[in-house]
Amino acid sequence: MLVALLTLWSQLGGPPLVADVAVFLLVGFLSLSWGRFSVMARGLLLASIMVSLLTMWRLDSPWTVLREAADSFAFLAAFMTSLALLRLPAYRSRLIRRCGQSLLLQPPNWRYPLLSVGSTLFGIVLNFGVLNLFVSMIEKANTLGAAQGRQWVQQARRRRMLLATLRGFTLAPLVSPMGIGVAVILANLPELKWRELFPYVLAAATVLFLVGWACDHLAGPKPVRRNANPPRPSLLPLVRFSLLLSALMALIFLLSWWFELRLPQAVLVGVPLGAWLWLAWQCRLLGLMGVAPATVVLGRRLPALLGSIGNEVVALGAGAYLGYLSVALMDPAQLAGMAGVMVDLGTWLPLVAMLVIVVLAQVGVNPIISVTFLTSMASQVTLPGVPLPLLAAAMLAGWSLTMVTSPFTAAMMIMSRFTGLSAGRIGFHWNGVFLGTSLMTAVLLLRLAT
């Protein structure tokens, strides 16, 4: 938590020494937590160490580059910590439990779109926690009795609901101003504003949602017509939850406007403040308007919460670190060559960038590395005929598609653990048609857009 506070201070104009102390504490945290990290997280840290040594060997003045790369690692660590604070009030919320029950009990024709939209909304608040929450609810609700003893119906429902949850969750980083992908792109492309990017990412998310819904409708069994239709659960809890999210977004944009902060910086301030206010509202009946009880709950639960997000912090922070150093290690001739390739691609660049992100993710290159590299290169050249928001939206769409197909992403690993199936089977057997259809649709729409 101290790393996050110092990073926030540095982002808001603190002295350079503050950023140095934050990086020093981050290195200490990573060293002390080594035994609790997953194999993938350890591999990323070892790769970061090796690339750091290579940087010191190859560059004449490596410390400036290493410090800037470490600052990006610390920023994403602080960003993840801020987002994780929302889990404290979310897991205590009765509203979220009512939303989950309402979504799972919808009729078959509406189950996919509502589960997908619900997991998108929940994903903005809970991040990867939404997969654990929704999968647990699906397993409890999808009983053999609910399928009237038909095992094939139970299995079909389970697959369709899991896919709706996974695909919906991967849209959250695409459309949310609190998403990691948005934070990386806005940090590396300072001239790009959220208000310019939002129409493009909203269009991309809508297309991916409709493609997923169509694939579910065509692949699923036709529902049997019944004379007596059970009553549909009320969607009022979902409406209330949407209003809650809207209030949180409004707080972030208000802070960004009032204090003239860039959106990622406003998220670092607004999300913890929103989480604390949400907790205070839940504890309002305990006296003192819930302020003191909320502070006590936050202090008690914070250590366990921060200890549970270590792997996520490493995956994102190390990805940004490696992406930054990969650009710095290229000599001027190579940089000029890459820049020339991007310019020569012209209006094909958004499509090629999206495909590069998707393809590299299948062999283990985290999308944050490829997106950091591509945005760092794009910030150094003028791209005639290519709107910068369109290029950024194409990258984010590619990032979203990697999360439902690449066996190396955290989302696929969580789904694999719950289902007992390999991540490769979920990615290519369950989502293969969806990926292919999405890419063909992207080819058509990106060519039309450019």
pLDDT one-digit tens code per residue, 13-35: 788 888 889 989 999 989 988 88
Residue 223 above 60 pLDDT? no
Residue 55's pLDDT is what? 92
Residue 307 above 60 pLDDT? yes
Helices 263-282 and 2-11 cross at an angle (nearest 10°) of 130
User: Are 30 and 311 a contacting pair, CB within 8 Å?
Assistant: no
Greater confidence, 219 or 53? 53
Q: Could you tell me what percent of the chain has a pLDDT over 90?
A: 19
Residue 399's pLDDT is what? 93
Tokens of 317: 């922070």
Tell me the mean pLDDT in the region 121-135: 76
DSSP summary character for residue 61: S
How many helices (H) and strands (E) the chain has is answered by: 23, 0
Residue 201's pLDDT is what? 93
Residue 227 above 60 pLDDT? no
- Alpha helices (H) in 127-259, listed in sequence order: 129-141, 151-169, 172-175, 180-188, 194-219, 236-258
Question: Measured in whole angstroms, how far is the alpha carbon of residue 77 from the centre of its chain?
Answer: 14
- Greatest mean pLDDT among 166-170, 290-294, 381-385: 166-170
Residue 368's pLDDT is what? 86
For the stretch 349-404, pLDDT in tens is: 999 999 999 999 988 888 888 898 888 888 877 777 788 999 999 999 999 999 88
CA–CA gap between residue 209 and residue 121 (Å, rounded): 13
Tell me the mean pLDDT in the region 115-138: 78
End-to-end, the C-alpha distance of the chain in Å comes to 44
Tell me the mean pLDDT in the region 256-282: 89
Q: For residue 105, what are the contacts with CB-CB under 8 A and spacing of at least 6?
A: 141, 232, 233
- Alpha helices (H) in 283-409, listed in sequence order: 291-307, 310-328, 332-345, 349-362, 367-378, 388-403
- Give the pLDDT band of residue 289 (cuts 50, 70, 90): confident
CA–CA gap between residue 67 and residue 19 (Å, rounded): 9
Residue 221's pLDDT is what? 63
Residue with tokens 């929940």: 122
For the stretch 135-155, pLDDT in tens is: 767 776 666 666 667 777 778
Tell me the mean pLDDT in the region 336-346: 79
Q: Which of 131-140, 340-349, 416-425 has the lowest mean pLDDT?
A: 131-140
Residue 226 above 60 pLDDT? no
Residue 288's pLDDT is what? 75
Averaged pLDDT score across all residues of the chain: 84
Best CA proximity match to 92, nearest among 239, 279, 248, 237: 279
Tell me the mean pLDDT in the region 102-131: 80
Tokens of 52: 């750091």
Residue 127's pLDDT is what? 74
User: Are 135 and 189 a contacting pair, CB within 8 Å?
Assistant: no
Quote the pTM value. 0.82
Q: Could you tell me what percent of the chain has a pLDDT over 70?
A: 94
Residue 57 above 60 pLDDT? yes
